[in-house]
Structure 1
Amino acid sequence: MILFFDLEFTCDENSLITNWSNPELPPEIIEIGLVCYDKKKVRDTFKTFVRPVINSKLSSYCIKLTGINSSDIDKAESLADVNFKISEWLSCLNITNSYSWGKEDLLFWENDSKKQYSSCPLNPENYIDLMRLAAQKIYKLDKVCERETIRKKLHISGTHHHNHTAISDAFDLISLYEGITNFNHD
């Protein structure tokens, strides 16, 4: 069984451009979406909001981008509590690999967890960066690729879900994974 995951973070208008380099506005997880997938079927899902510690008030940009409201995260659990629940959930599953689009989600999850005296529940040894896999398989290069570029190359229609929700983005990775693993240069 494989796991697709996506995270949403606190952000402002410049976060993506500067890769969250402003020390006063570090990325903090505010939503986690996980999808377990096996034999071309979704087997289970896990979706939760996470209460940020440093930036407890979401910027208007973040609210507009993610659709997450301050009330969603005000009543959410801490990352440490969420990590524990995810660990419990994962312990019942036989996950062989986990995938996200770009390694940043895993790195941010590990760093955010350490800051809160917790640990990321995913095994980094079983992690595969789907973006790098796409670049290597399709272009035979180790480079950064945009989801839309790969989607067009593989003739995959766009997601019908709201973008920038963790669970819909995790579901979206399934079609990309299928397209990438079935890709032939012929």
Structure 2
Amino acid sequence: MSTPTSGSALESVRARRSWSKVTDDAPTREELLPLIAAASRVADHANLTPWRLIELRGDDRLRLGRAIGEATGDGPSMKPLRAPLLIAIVSSPQPSDKVEEWEQEAVASGVAHMLSLLLDEAGWGVMWRTGGFVRAAAVAKAHGLTRREKLLGWLYVGGRPPREREAFRAAVDPDRVLGRMPGGDAR
């Protein structure tokens, strides 16, 4: 087995971080398309593509803020204005006798995470945001979701500020989270 080299997936994953504050720069649609194509390579049992993405820019973010305000009972939320680009992650389950809905939702989550890694590697600040209002009817309606679809949150995307110094989260201790099946040999 070889050691990961410069530019490896392992190196990119280790360098990944969430950017809670971003600048007004954002990737163009044309810059997004190849990243989305690459993220679509996530494991997808039966190739169902049980997900879709919604690009929110400009006034779309204001409409989302109004929907969040309706869902929470507060005034319009300014949270969607924290980044120039939001990418809504939608679990869009497909009819299947062999792939259950939970597995299809996991695929959509995988696409979201893969896309966040690719955006990070491309030099963009990214944070996956959720909240109690993610599954609210007003928010689903604003996104044009069908009855079967579920919103999983948004990737907030923008330029990286020059001096942001957020704490870097250390990796978990792998020995703590990697166990053995009960009753197996103790190698």
Q: TM-score, normalised by structure 1?
A: 0.28
Tell me: higher relative CO, structure 1 or 2? Use CA pairs within 8 A at least 6 residues apart: 2
Q: TM-score, normalised by structure 2?
A: 0.28
